[in-house]
Amino acid sequence: MNVSSLTEPDLKRRLAQHGIAIRTGAFVTHLQTAIPRVAEGIHLLYADFPLIEQGGFADFHVRLARPRNFRRWFKPQVLFLFDGDSTFKPLPLDQAFPMLEWGLNWCVSSHAHSYLMIHAAVIEKDGFAAMLPAPPGSGKSTLCAALVNRGWRLLSDELALVRLRDRKIMPLPRPISLKNASIDLLKRYEPRAILSREVADTMKGTVAHMKPPADSVARAMEAVPLAWVIFPKYQNGAATRLDMLPQSRALMRVADNAFNYSTLGADGFEALAGLLENAQCHDFSYSQLDEAVSAFAALKPATVLT
């Protein structure tokens, strides 16, 4: 049973009463909220995600609610509650759905230490993954959204989850976060993409989220090996350019983007070194999405070349 099997009114009712348990990759989140715009976002962007039977195990218990003070009526706000505790400062009520997305990222990055976790988008094609570690503003999510609309499978927009036992990347497909100018850019690039409504004046500017492809959601338990590490950088007017990068330098830069590299100690180093052992590493600059997508289409994994 998927979210799409519920009508929007039925979903709103369930969320407000007992909540729903929804699977995203390897994790189950129990979510409860009476905020209509969160229900609308779930109905639109999580339509293909499986629902889990109530009463079963959930990794994360999340509730979004209005504060029990005067801010329920004056410039209303929203709280993100994890196991009943308020985790972040309240945000304007209008930002409830983006807050859910940011909070779910926090749930995984703060607790899933059975994985090496790297701040990166990850996509897959023909059984091999490309990881795109990059800081905010580098064009990572825009490029990721363009690629998954041109045949690449979405593994994650934000978190690369590396299994410690075999160094394969575990998918965590969820809506792709787009910001500011990248929203209209993606709309022009792929008019059929399904986007949430835009929310202005957040801490990240104007944000919207793109629905992940149904095939990526259906294959969310298929882990894959890494073939490429590509550090993307959008530069206005820049030529599309892919430059080889030594693995030793790439390892240090990936470690800088890891959430728990130090926490895992020797296991983290061994996982990262093993992850990059057979990967080709590149710096990548671009300004045109069509050219960037063509450059990715020409990638060949080292295991095929040899």
Tens of pLDDT along the chain (306 residues) come to 999 999 999 999 999 999 999 999 999 999 999 999 999 999 999 999 999 987 789 999 999 999 987 777 778 999 999 999 998 999 999 999 999 999 999 999 999 999 999 999 999 999 999 999 988 888 899 999 999 999 999 999 999 999 999 999 999 999 999 999 999 999 999 999 999 999 999 999 999 999 999 999 999 999 999 999 999 999 999 999 999 999 999 999 999 999 999 999 999 999 999 999 989 999 999 999 999 999 999 999 886 444
Q: Are residues 247 and 146 in the same domain?
A: yes
Q: Are residues 152 and 257 in the same domain?
A: yes
Q: Are residues 151 and 261 in the same domain?
A: yes
**154, two tokens:** 């979405």
Domain assignment present for 304: no
Do 216 and 191 meet the contact criterion of CB atoms below 8 Å apart? no
Domain assignment present for 306: no
Domain assignment present for 224: yes
Whole-model pTM?
A: 0.94
Q: Are residues 143 and 89 in the same domain?
A: no
Distance CA 87, CA 79 (A): 8
Q: Are residues 43 and 126 in the same domain?
A: no
Do 127 and 276 meet the contact criterion of CB atoms below 8 Å apart? no
**Cβ of 162: how many Cβ atoms within 10 Å?**
24
Domain assignment present for 193: yes
Q: Are residues 64 and 130 in the same domain?
A: no
* pLDDT on residue 305: 43
Q: Domain containing 282: what range?
A: 115-298
CATH, residue 189: 3.40.50
Got the DSSP string for 107-161? HHHHH-TTEEEEEEEEEEETTEEEEEE--TTSSHHHHHHHHHTTTPEEEESSEEE
**109, two tokens:** 């990055």
Q: Are residues 124 and 264 in the same domain?
A: yes
What is the number of structural domains in the chain?
2
Domain assignment present for 125: yes
Q: Are residues 100 and 126 in the same domain?
A: no
